[in-house]
């Protein structure tokens, strides 16, 4: 699910209910905006209970983006480049 933090929790719950096949997996990407966000509370803080893995990527991990673009993006986006938990 792309930007799951923008979806209502009921959307995520319905998607999980549809994954009834053995071995089914869901991939989420998100940038929760506050520490109290439901996705952080229910997923990122309960990884072991959910049998989930948290992968963290930065702009430098994207090899398709050139150095010029990276330099122009880092300053304006600096406040959004952070790791969980706060």
Alpha-carbon torsion (52, 19, 39, 56), positive or negative? positive
23: left (phi over 0), alpha (psi -120 to 50) or beta: left
Cα 3 to Cα 9, 20, 24, 38, 63: the distances in Å are 12, 22, 20, 13, 21
**pLDDT, tens digit, 9 for 90 and up, residues 54-86:** 888 877 788 888 887 777 775 544 444 444 444
Per-residue confidence (pLDDT) for residue 22, from 0 to 100: 84
Q: What letter would DSSP give residue 45?
A: G
Q: What's the mean per-residue pLDDT of the chain?
A: 78
For residue 74, what pLDDT is reported?
59
Query: Which of the two residues, 35 and 82, has the higher pLDDT score?
Result: 35
């Amino acid at each position: 699910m792309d930007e799951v933090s923008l979806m209502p929790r009921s959307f995520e719950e319905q998607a999980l209910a549809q994954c009834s096949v053995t071995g089914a997996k869901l991939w989420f990407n998100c940038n929760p905006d506050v520490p109290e966000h439901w996705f952080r509370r229910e997923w990122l803080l309960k990884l072991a209970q959910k049998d989930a893995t948290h992968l963290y990527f930065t702009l430098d991990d994207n090899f398709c983006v050139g150095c010029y673009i990276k330099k122009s993006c880092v300053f304006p986006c600096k406040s959004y480049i952070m790791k969980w938990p706060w």
